[in-house]
Structure 1
Amino acid sequence: MSNSTPDVAIIGAGLGGLALALSLHAHNIPCTLYETRPAPSADASKQISYFTPNGDGGYLALAPNALRVLDRLGAYEGVRDGGFNYDEIHMQSARSMKLIGTVRSHAEGKEGYRSVRVGRGLVRRILLDKAEERGVKIVFGAKLVDLKETKDGVDLQFGDETLVTATLVVGADGMHSKVRDAVEPGATPRYSGQTGVGGPVSTKQLGELKDGLHMPCMLLGRGNSFAFMPCTNDGGTVSVFATMQIPDRSREEWATFMHDKVTLKKLLTDRHSEGTEWPPAVVKACREIDENQISAWPTYRLPPLGKYTSGGGRVVIIGDAAHGIPPHAGQGAGMAFEDAATLADKIAAGRDGGLEPLLAEWQGHRMERIKRVIDLTAQSGAARRASPTVFHQVIKEWLMAAYLWWNDGASGMDWLYGYDTKAL
């Protein structure tokens, strides 16, 4: 690669792509974001729809490691003030409502970041605003259809036949990435077997039934898990969702399923009705969800890739494009933010030459860390899976209680929450 500041093309203006663009801007490295979706309209730009099936809705958890990156981008305060701040999640038995244990969601002795449950659309809006303020170039309605790596750069072709050549291309284009084919051809995500279904309710709608809930909390049932996660700063709105085992479908069938609000509402109320294992708070929550705001999100996992950079060293993938992690440990966005911040630092360090070994170093470090996060996510996902009998469910609750007690709720998580991207 030539000894000049690279011109970076970022494919995808989601959370990871925006974080990378802002991180590069801090290093005075020019970049352009290319986003398939159209630009938000002037009237709708400040309006956040949290539960929409278009990939920009729903809620997400941001742990201290993610918030540390957002703080450096100047986006932390808006996210903190727009979501619910918490230090721990309580695990409860759906059978008895008794507390099984507590999972801490902060790092001991660090800056004091608390985890935040917040609307994904709000986080993206804040990052888009920061990008606009700083003059980051974003091309909306730009669907990538072809990518060719040469010895001098990367040629990109978009759906409107626009041709672009960049020194370096970063794919931040999500689980079903187009850019990934230039790094690991044929690598495709696989359905995990679990789908989340839920929506927002107010604490007023729950009434006195909320008093038995240690929110934010997850209730473990024999058939599935059910979560109550406050998601507004005052805690008045609660994101409630079930994680259920649902058969796989084609992408077209999933799209139909996710848009069928009547079926989604019936699925929730039928599985969590009176006379089932679920307590009144869950039954009430499922009844009270506004049908128009209900949403479903099948979770996918990407088989571990052998690399995140292409053979020629001019194409890199980050976030879900590189390691598609299910949401069970609340680290999907966090890993994308870490990828972005650390990659920007390496690109800046190699702007005067020698970028290839720096990318190799970045890749090795990120792959090692991602493996630990994937292992953690698998453990969390297993706790949400159905148990064949009540006996098996009781044993699972006992084992979880013992594990959380032994680790004092923290589960030795400083390696995750205390991570500092500047340490690489």
Structure 2
Amino acid sequence: MTSSNSVKVTNVAIIGGGVAGPALALCLKKHHNIMSTIYELRPAGDERGVNIALAPNGVRVLQHVGVYDELRAQGFSYEQLQISNAHSQPLGRLWHGSRKHYNFQCLRIHRSTVQKELLKEAKAQGIPIVYGKKLVALTEKHDGVEITFADNETVSASFVIGADGVHSNVRDLIMGTETGYSGFMGIIGMRLARDKLHKSVQDVILPDFVFGKTGFVAIMPSNYDGTEVDFFSTMPYPSHSRKEWDELSQDKTKLQAILRERFGKDWPEFVVGITRDYKKEGLELYPFFEVPPLDRWTSTGGRVILIGDAAHAFTPQAGQGAAVGLEDAETLAHTMSREGFATDHMRFLKIWEKHRQARLVQVKRLTDINGRLRSPDPPLVQSLKEWIMWANFKWSGPMGKLEWLFGYNAEDILSHY
């Protein structure tokens, strides 16, 4: 006779085929032999998105699911990040990744490349992926969830995972929480030839985060050999309607003017040159929306679970959006595989939720500090901020006291059960 505690979870539906969703599917299948189906709104081959930096806590999950080696050959791996001011004075250097300290370097890579490799591996593992599926309804029952899509197809699952991003349909259906504009937007330009930048960049260690009285700009290599770079700036900006954001994102002349106004003078020449010479058609705009802090990441019955941006979206000013989503995926997979989860899931999910929420409070605090440092300020205030950054590196050293962030391992969740 089989004990009720040995009953395994089956028939998991994952809504969202971005990064966290496929990572969860792979963790469930490869580590715990639990099958799932991925339902993705966009068509196959959609490659929207921009370059992202994946710190060791995110890269570690990619290695665990078997895609890191493929991704490492397609992005730029680095360990130290230079911090400087608009006068080209170094403020410090940060270990943003380290084989010695964290076992992994940091990886700069296009988000769609990560998604593509995850989905490719999911397909190789026999995990079904269904594209063009828009979720419109969820009906939670005591033993499962009924899912309805816009094409009128209805399917049943024992558990549903909402991995469908900041504007999550799953979250809207189980708790109705709306996202809000964070007060920050980002402008990014990609695929600049490094040898076309002003010669002054030869004296700069890249990646370089540059801070000044009119804001912040980063220059980061983005391909395997570092011959291509991208630049980006996150900045405070007034709230707009959806229509106004769409119009601004299409107005490349306006985006270039914003960059020139902020960084077109009194900045290092290689920064000034980018605002002048980069072809405006390549500029991308991203307003950053946030999910307000949620008391719970699950439905009242615990059979619908949120991960990634669907649960805790915030601005990317700590470079942790994708990484903590990957953490969610692996920790949840370990949780769902525990003996007794199928019959006592509410207890296990409360433990998982408490563990993850406590960590996300720390990540959000770091994000908010970084946002404050990147904001424009009068000269005296900016000088004080730069002095504080310099003093902090002198005190904390290149590790920056961020071992808690970069050294996190998803298996740590197992000690809580």
Task: Indicate the TM-score class for this superposition, using the shorter chain for normalisation.
Answer: over 0.9
- Residue number in structure 2 paired with 1:188: 178
CA deviation map 1:87-116 (0-9, x unaligned)? 12111111x110011222136854531111
Deviation at 1:385, TM superposition (A): 0.7
Aligned residue for 2:84, secondary structure, equals: strand
Residues in 2 aligned to 1:259 and 1:152: alpha-carbon distance in whole angstroms: 47
CA 1:107–1:414: 2 relative to 1, 3 Å: farther
Q: Distance in 2 between matches of 1:250 and 1:217?
A: 33
Counterpart of 1:365, as a letter, is H
Contact 1:182 1:315 in 2 (8 A): no
| 1:4 to partner: Cα distance | 4.6
SS at match of 2:130: strand
SS of equivalent to 2:197: helix
What is the aligned partner in structure 2 of residue 218 from structure 1? Answer: 209
- In structure 1, the partner of 2:235 is 244
Secondary structure of the residue aligned to 1:38 is coil
Query: 1:32-84 CA deviation, whole Å, 9 max, x = no partner?
Result: 111110122xxxx8xxx6xxxxxx32111101111111001111112222111
Q: Match of 2:380?
A: 391
Range with greater deviation from structure 2 (371-380 or 344-353): 344-353
Contact 2:136 2:148 in 1 (8 A): yes
Q: Write the deviation string for residues 269-296 of structure 1: whole angstroms up to 9, x where unpaired.
A: 34322xx322211111122323332111
Contact 1:107/1:417 (CA < 8 Å) preserved in 2? no
Match of 1:106 in 2: 97
The total of aligned residue pairs comes to: 406
**Residue aligning to 2:359:** 369
> Which segment is superposed worse, 329-338 or 72-81?
72-81
* SS, match of residue 373 in structure 1: helix
Aligned to 2:16: 12
Task: State how far apart, in whole Å, the 2-side matches of 1:332 and 1:149 are.
Answer: 29
For 1:311, give the aligned amino acid.
Answer: T
Which residue does the alignment assign to 1:320?
A: 309
CA distance in 2, matches of 1:106, 1:64: 6
Counterpart pick for 1:175 among 145, 163, 166: 166
Q: In 2, distance between residues paired with 1:392 and 1:344?
A: 46
Q: Secondary structure at the residue paired with 2:205?
A: coil
Comparing 342-351 and 332-341, the one that deviates more: 342-351
Q: CA deviation at 1:360?
A: 1.3
Query: 1:39 maps to which residue?
Result: 44
Please report how far the alpha carbon of residue 206 of structure 1 lies from its aligned counterpart in structure 2 after TM superposition.
0.2
Residue 404 (structure 1) aligned with residue 393 (structure 2): yes
Sequence identity (%): 38
- Structure 2 letter corresponding to 1:317: L
Measured against aligned partners, the alpha-carbon deviations of 1:353-406 in whole angstroms (never above 9, x if no partner) come to 32221111111110111111111111111110111x111111110011111211
Counterparts of 1:413-424 in structure 2 under 5 Å?
413-424=402-413
The CA distance in 1 between the partners of 2:262 and 2:346, in whole Å, is 53
Structure 2 counterpart of 1:205, which letter? K
1:351 Cα deviation (Å)?
5.2
Structure 1-normalised TM-score?
0.91
User: Aligned equivalents of 2:114 and 2:70: distance in 1?
Assistant: 8
Deviation at 1:120, TM superposition (A): 0.8
Letter in 1 for 2:105: R
1:92 alignment partner AA: S
In 1, Cα distance between the equivalents of 2:88 and 2:102?
Answer: 34
Can you list the C-alpha shifts for 1:10-43, whole angstroms capped at 9, x where unaligned? 1100001110111111122121111110122xxx
SS class of match (1:89) = strand
1:360 is paired with a residue whose SS is helix
Tell me which residue corresponds to 1:72.
Answer: 64
The residue matched to 2:224 in structure 1 has which SS? coil
Give how far 1:265 is off. 2.4
Relative to 1, partners in 2 of residues 1:112 and 1:30: Cα closer, same or farther, differing over 3 Å? closer
User: 1:107–1:414: 8 Å Cα contact kept in structure 2?
Assistant: no
Tell me if structure 1 keeps the 8 A contact 2:92–2:393. yes
CA distance, structure 1, for counterparts of residue 231 and residue 97 of structure 2? 22
2:331 is aligned to: 342
* Residue equivalent to 1:136: 127
CA contact (8 A) 1:97 1:212 kept: no
Residue of 20, 25, 28 corresponding to 1:21 = 25
Q: How does 1:251-330 map to 2 (within 5 A)?
A: 251-273=242-264, 276-330=265-319
- The 2-side partners of 1:234 and 1:287 are apart by 25
How far apart, CA to CA, are the structure 1 residues paired with 2:94 and 2:81? 5
8 Å contact from structure 1 (residues 205, 288) kept in 2: no
Residue of 322, 327, 350 corresponding to 1:360: 350
Per-residue CA deviations over 1:243-273 (Å, capped at 9, x if unaligned) read 2222111122212222332322232234322
Q: Secondary structure at the match of 2:42?
A: coil
- SS of aligned partner of 2:317: helix
TM-score normalized by the length of structure 2: 0.93
When residues 190 and 64 of structure 1 are mapped into structure 2, their CA distance, relative to the original with a 3 A threshold, is: same
Q: Contact 2:214–2:263 (CA<8 Å) still a contact in 1?
A: no
What is the identity, as a one-letter code, of the residue corresponding to 2:370?
Answer: S
Look up the equivalent residue of 1:333 and give its one-letter code: A
